[in-house]
A = this chain, B = another copy of it.
Amino acid sequence: MTDTDRTPITRAFCAEADAQDPLAGLRDEFLLPEGLVYLDGNSLGARPKGALERAAAVIEREWGHDLIASWNTHDWFELPKRIGAKIGRLIGGERGGCVVSDTTSINLFKVLAAALKIQDQAAPERRVIVSERENFPTDLYMVEGLAKLLDRGYELRLVDEDLPLSEALREDVAVLLLTHVNYRTGALWDMAAETRRAHEAGALVLWDLCHSVGAVPVRVSEADADFAIGCTYKYLNGGPGSPAFVWVHERHQAAAEQPLSGWWGHASPFDMAVAFEPAPGIDRFLTGTQPIVSLAMTEVGVDLALSVDDRALREKSLALTTLFMRLVDQRLAHHDLTLITPEDPERRGSHVSYRHPEGYAVMQALIANGVVGDYREPEVLRFGITPLYVGFLDVWDAVETLRWVLDEEVWRAPEFQTRGAVT
């Protein structure tokens, strides 16, 4: 810590930071309950003001009035591609194509199958998928499901404290699957460096952007990534369970074969042909009919993200996560909080996580007192910082509430001890 870090931070300092914040006005684009400090946008983004209006237009005018004609007149057919193209811009994907469809898990299956097929033709001896033990579990489950289905000796090799990535990338590796920002710790991979290293080892690279897109600048083309997937309901504020995206580098599009080959991915879906013929380009990664209301709302959140320079957003995100860490250092040092998020800004995403032995109860007490973060096994308190709508005073209030919960042992109340389902 430098001397500057030791200067006590005051509430007035945070208020001044908000006043100076060039992005502060974006908060007005969201409807958040009065008085709530919402630090869980990394799990479910907040509601943009335009979301209800968009949904109502789809339900009343498009579905209700124009009915089936809306597939053409309201461009329902184009939605996955139109919103996908916007996300493609957000993630710096100019050297590839992007569509919005289905879920992150399903999209992972599509691109992993495509990647394994490409490798199988070029280097059939490569039968290993490398990922992290600490990756978001559903990513690992989908790999497991595909490997089991294929039943051709594919195996998952997990990087952990005993096996660094550099050692895991042997010549038997077909695909490296990494999540850009770790869901628990908030640790950020250097996408360009890891992609380069994997390519040098002969592996294709698939990035899961769920915890970075919308909060951390992503440059998939610059990093030369092969495939990317991600969700739209976290930092992109698309609404609960809004459809996910999939991006594929142009060099793979002609060869990419994905097995979930439904009508929407057909070259001529309305010819009603018996045989499947994949659409050219990224469109072949579409499968079945999409949930139009949820899909249309996604665009509202994506448009908001596109309206901001992502470097300015990153600057604010880092200022906020740094502020959080410093306040905890300065004001909560006497408590048993262990920071598990990298202090190095180059290695940090947009949330801050601490372990605390009573993490579950502490988070319940925080939530009951208007500070919404979340809890993740084991013992982890997560505080998500969505720079679009979180301010410096929010961070101050969150840390002060945490201090009170710990100082006064508010978390000991029985109602905070009961375990329920956790999101």
Interface residues of A (CB under 8 A from B): 31, 33, 36, 38, 40, 43-44, 46-47, 51-52, 55-56, 58-60, 62-65, 67-72, 76-77, 102-106, 109, 113, 133, 137-138, 140-142, 144-146, 148-150, 158, 231, 233, 239-244, 257-263, 266, 269-276, 287-295, 297, 367, 372, 374, 376-377, 420-423
Q: Which residue of B lies closest to A298 (CB)?
A: B291
Cβ contacts under 8 Å, A295 to chain B: 241, 291, 294
| 25 contacts across the A-B interface (CB closer than 8 A) | A33-B67, A44-B68, A47-B60, A52-B56, A68-B374, A69-B367, A77-B421, A102-B103, A105-B262, A106-B106, A106-B262, A106-B288, A109-B260, A140-B275, A140-B276, A141-B262, A141-B263, A145-B258, A145-B260, A145-B262, A148-B259, A158-B274, A239-B292, A240-B291, A291-B293
Contact A67 B55, beta carbon cutoff 8 Å: no
- In the bound complex, CA of A349 to CA of B63 (Å): 24
- What is the CB-to-nearest-CB distance from A208 to chain B, in angstroms, rounded to a whole number? 12
Cβ contacts under 8 Å, A158 to chain B: 274
Cross-chain contact of A137 among B69, B113, B244, B273 (Cβ < 8 A): B273
Contact B240 A63, beta carbon cutoff 8 Å: yes
Contact A275 B240, beta carbon cutoff 8 Å: no
Cβ contacts under 8 Å, A240 to chain B: 58, 62-63, 70, 76, 291-293
Cross-chain contact of A266 among B141, B272, B289 (Cβ < 8 A): B141
Contact A291 B288, beta carbon cutoff 8 Å: no
Contact B294 A291, beta carbon cutoff 8 Å: yes
Q: Which residue of B lies closest to A158 (CB)?
A: B274
- In the bound complex, CA of A289 to CA of B112 (Å): 19
- What is the CB-to-nearest-CB distance from A355 to chain B, in angstroms, rounded to a whole number? 14
Cβ contacts under 8 Å, A106 to chain B: 102, 106, 260, 262, 287-288
